[in-house]
Amino acid sequence: MPAKNLGYQTRCQICGARPLETILALGHQPIVQEYLTRATRHQPEVTYPLNLVRCPKCGLLQLDYIVDPRLVFPKHYPYRTGLTNMLIRNFRELANCLIKKYRLRAKDLVVDIGSNDGTLLQGFRAKGIRVLGIEPTDAAQDANQNGIPTIQSYLNAAAVNRARKKYGPARVVTATNVFAHILDVPELMRNIKKLLAPNGVFVSESQYLADIFTKREFDTIYHEHLRFYALKPLVKLFRRHGMSLVDAERIAAAGGSIRVFAAWGRHPLSSRAKKLIAAEEQLGLYRAKTLQEWAGQIKRAKQELLALLLRCKQEGARIAGVGSPARANTLLGYTHLDSDLLDYTVEKAGSPKIGLFTPGSHLPVVAEEKLLADQPEYALILSWHIGPELMKILRAKGYRGQFIMPLPQPRIITKR
Ligand SMILES: [Zn+2]
């Protein structure tokens, strides 16, 4: 991965326009996956600016500071797709949808960029379709062990050439939750086009700005996510690189995502994609004033959450966190929640984060059993995007305290 164009950005990542307008400043934050160990807890911790800014020309929302991807996605990156039930369901559905839509057969090749442990590709392989993953982290080794051929590499010319040589052109190239993560957009588009057959289709899933906006999911903003997509800037992006966005649909994954389909050459936009763009305009996603008002609501939500937790603390209550997804670290960091307010946060058994400390806020991450044994008066749902599912599970397991939802409106969930 070339270490170019890192650091502070003054121009739009897609169209190059400037100056970029600040929408929401989240302070300096550490890398969300840089969990501390008992030893590194005693070492300095590096933080980077985290600002959501807007392009004056194409309207793209993006970060204005790019951290070296080798630091953001280190080889030991702890995340495994196969540990998240919701993602497993979504990927099964995506594989089946693509197999049907494009009548994929055994001779066809599906390449997944940022394939992690191969969870998505398993859905294709189960139907006998040829698959190949490209994945920079050690998750690639898990994938290979599970029989999903995977090149352990960033998406670069060398990896693409290797893939083309050994496997030929791909009928489908997928990129789920990575299309907004790669800095060099022209190089990314060159590589995708090189992987694709002339009749191939590129399918990507990214968190959708309309969901981030309506559900106030500012916690999806962290250094992994360089761009926050609505459809209009994407239409321009594909056109600049000789492709067309042909279709788009909203999906529930990752707190609300947009699945887009793109092909070589010039093609018209589907009517459902046109409807989505009209809805985006209706929401005000392309109006700076509306976005500034949204930022104001987030600042108020932060104050309300802090006030609510302080009230609980003053009553002498114990508060524990539930979940430690990457995004929670933006929430904890921006809201300045630390171990004075939250005793610890819990992950379900098997999570590689157990025994570590959250970056920035330094909360101990412990196994879920501790919450059930301690029965703290309040449990703050840090994985609030899957809040209802989590609360149901914890109730069934015997947690008797009250739940607090941090967003979109901080509130105590009355006992059920
Ligand atoms: Zn732009």
Residue 98 Cα to ligand 1 midpoint, Å, equals: 30
Tokens of 177: 């939750």
Where residue 385 falls among pLDDT bands split at 50, 70, 90?
confident
Per-residue pLDDT, averaged over 13-42, amounts to 96
46 CA → ligand 1 middle, Å: 29
Query: Over pLDDT 90: what percentage of the chain?
Result: 86
Round to the nearest angstrom and report the end-to-end CA distance of the chain: 50
The values of phi and psi at residue 398, to 5°, are 110, 10
* Confidence at residue 83, expressed as pLDDT on a 0 to 100 scale: 65
pLDDT above 70: percentage of residues in the chain:
96
Starting from the edge strand earliest in sequence, which strands make up the sheet with 150-151, in order? 150-151, 130-134, 109-113, 170-176, 196-207, 257-264, 243-251
How far apart are the CA of 66 and the centre of ligand 1, in A?
16
pLDDT for 79 equals 66
Every domain range in the chain assigned CATH 3.40.50.150: 81-286
- Please give the Cα distance from 359 to 32 (Å, whole number): 6
User: For residue 357, how far is its CA from the centre of ligand 1 (angstroms)?
Assistant: 37
Q: Indicate the helix (H) or strand (E) that contains 177.
A: none
Q: What is the pLDDT of residues 174-208, one digit of tens each?
A: 999 888 888 888 899 999 999 999 999 999 999 99
Q: What is the pLDDT of residues 125-162, one digit of tens each?
A: 999 999 999 999 899 999 999 999 999 999 999 999 99
Sequence-separated (6 or more) residues with CB below 8 Å from residue 211: 217, 250, 255, 256, 257
Tell me, in angstroms, the distance from the centre of ligand 1 to residue 18's CA: 8
Helix (H) or strand (E) holding 164, with range, is: helix 157-167
Top-level CATH class of 307-413?
alpha beta
Higher per-residue pLDDT: 272 or 183: 272
Residue 2 reports pLDDT greater than 60: no
Helices (H), 168-320: 185-195, 209-214, 231-240, 271-283, 288-314
Summarize pLDDT for 38-60 with one digit per residue, the tens: 999 999 999 999 999 999 999 99
Distance 16 CA to ligand 1 centre (A): 6
**Per-residue confidence (pLDDT) for residue 182, from 0 to 100:** 85
Residue 69 confidence (pLDDT)? 87
Q: Which fold has domain 81-286?
A: Rossmann fold (3.40.50)
Q: What is the pLDDT of residue 1?
A: 38
Residue type, 78: P
Separation CA 357–CA 354 (nearest Å): 8
The ranges of the chain annotated as CATH 3.40.50.720 are: 307-413
Taking residues 313-321, what's their average pLDDT?
97
- Kindly state the tokens that stand for 74: 């280190």
Whole-angstrom distance, CA of residue 232 vs CA of residue 276? 10
Give the separation between CA 151 and CA 160, rounded to whole angstroms. 10
**What token pair was written down for 369?**
């059993």
Note the pLDDT of residue 291: 98
Give 13 Cα–ligand 1 centroid separation in angstroms.
7
pLDDT digits (tens, 9 = 90+) for 194-249: 999 999 999 999 999 999 999 999 999 999 999 999 999 999 999 999 999 999 99
Instruction: Tell me, in angstroms, the distance from the centre of ligand 1 to residue 219's CA.
Output: 23
If 0-12 CB within 10 Å is exposed, 13-18 middle and 19+ buried, where does residue 160 land?
buried
Query: If you measure from the C-alpha of residue 55 to the centroid of ligand 1, how many angstroms do you get, rounded to a whole number?
Result: 5
Q: What is the SS3 assignment for 102?
A: coil
Instruction: Using the predicted structure, report yes or no on whether residue 340 has a pLDDT greater than 70.
Output: yes
Q: How far apart are CA 242 and CA 229, in angstroms?
A: 19
